[in-house]
Amino acid sequence: MRPRGETGKNSASKELETTMPTSRVLVTGGSGFIAGHCILQLLDAGYEVRTTVRSLAKETLVREVLADAGMVDGGALSFVAADLTSDEGWPEAVADVDFVLHVASPVQPGHIDNENELIIPAREGAVRVLRAARDAGVKRAVLTSAFHAVSWGHPHDGHVFTEADWTVLDGPGVDAYAKSKTLAEQAAWELMANSSTELVTMLPVAVMGPVMGRDVTGSNHLIQGMLNGAMPATPRLFIPIVDVRDVARAHILAMTTPEAAGQRFLLSNGPAIEMTDIAATIRARLSEGTQRVPTQTIPDEVVRAAAESNPQFREMLPDLGYAKKTSNDKARNLLGWSPRDAAEAIASAAESMVKKVLGAQ
């Protein structure tokens, strides 16, 4: 089977088009940032795409957002309603699908009173989607896990994190989001251990890049806070960054590369970047909208003192002043993945927010 775009380019392939079925891909959570970029790239490559939203009332908005982000023809895109916390809709979502990209999951790093608000939809949702995929005979499922399932709870000993590492659930600084991603990925591997549906998991570091519509989600919040003045100075935190367009590309490579079956892939790009350098990149790369981007850093002792009463500062303590190291060798070598510079992810995130989000506030 092949994507539709690979057929119909000349008379020989036109002939094939009449005989070769189209590959259909289910992308869960079509309203999301990473899922949106996956959908755009899949449609561009000629796949037929089905996506889930919690309510079909969102379809019009998602179509508008995708069109604004460059979707030329939405004719090959369809929608099904399904929530990660319910069985309803998933059999329809996976019916006659060749591949599943399970991207949807609640994203909320930091403190949360009831951890199960994240853990249950993440873990039970992953099991629900993958079980449905397996029962429907889907060829391969790609699960969007996270660096949060790799590097949390470890000592600061200069270790270079790879796909061999797992978050230590009872280690220091492990928040509900890191638990949700780790438990969801572990449940996925357990469920699919002897399945004929192949599983691949993706482990992106902080994903930044062009926003989808006016919604700012995930790690892009950090850029938003620098632009809108919510972050007047930067703590000494180091963020490993990858561009959302490269994350989407990696998902498609993971879906189509035969050797990727049964593998995890760490999606990182170069060393973690200190927040003050992220701010400097925004100032250097943008010609407008940078008036509030911070120029000052917050000394560690000030962060520590503030952490005694402020939970936001408390969350910074485990990684204050420490840059985690990562290797992307496996994705480069096995998938042939080649991510763009992290500065590009930062600049394009900031530019898109200045244009679409801040101007609209």
Query: Rounded CA gap, 239 and 338, in Å?
Result: 19
**Number of residues engaging ligand NAP in binding (CB under 6 A):** 25
Among 107, 279, 293, 345, binds ligand NAP (CB under 6 A): 107
Contact predicate 228/358, CB 8 Å: yes
Among 42, 104, 252, 266, binds ligand NAP (CB under 6 A): 104
Q: Which of residues 33-72 bind ligand NAP (CB under 6 A)?
A: 33-35, 54
Stretch that binds ligand NAP, among 29-37, 158-166, 191-199, 276-284 (CB under 6 A): 29-37
Among 77, 80, 84, 93, binds ligand NAP (CB under 6 A): 84
Among 24, 26, 32, 176, binds ligand NAP (CB under 6 A): 32
DSSP at 92 = H
- Distance from first CA to last CA of the chain, Å, rounded? 46
Query: Rounded CA gap, 143 and 129, in Å?
Result: 10
Q: Taking CB under 6 A as the rule, does residue 132 contact ligand NAP?
A: no
CB of 32 to ligand NAP, least distance (A): 3
Q: Taking CB under 6 A as the rule, does residue 326 contact ligand NAP?
A: no
Query: Rounded CA gap, 109 and 22, in Å?
Result: 38
| CA-to-CA separations, 173 to 49, 151, 207, 222, 293, in angstroms, rounded | 38, 11, 20, 19, 28
Q: Taking CB under 6 A as the rule, does residue 210 contact ligand NAP?
A: no
Q: Taking CB under 6 A as the rule, does residue 83 contact ligand NAP?
A: yes
Q: Taking CB under 6 A as the rule, does residue 77 contact ligand NAP?
A: no
Q: Give exposure, 300-326, as e/b (b: 16+ Cβ within 10 Å).
A: eeebeeebeeeeebbebeebbeebbeb
Stretch that binds ligand NAP, among 98-106, 221-229, 252-260, 302-310 (CB under 6 A): 98-106
Q: Which of residues 165-194 bind ligand NAP (CB under 6 A)?
A: 181
Residues in the chain: 361
Among 79, 93, 98, 106, binds ligand NAP (CB under 6 A): 106
Contact predicate 130/190, CB 8 Å: no
Residue (38 or 354) nearer to ligand NAP, CB: 38
Residue (24 or 37) nearer to ligand NAP, CB: 37
Q: Taking CB under 6 A as the rule, does residue 214 contact ligand NAP?
A: no
- Strands, DSSP E only, in the chain? 24-27, 48-53, 77-81, 99-102, 140-144, 160-161, 198-204, 206-208, 233-235, 238-239, 241-243, 264-267, 273-274, 296-298, 325-326
Which stretches of the chain bind ligand NAP, using CB under 6 A?
29, 31-35, 54, 83-85, 103-107, 121, 144, 146, 181, 204, 206-207, 217-219
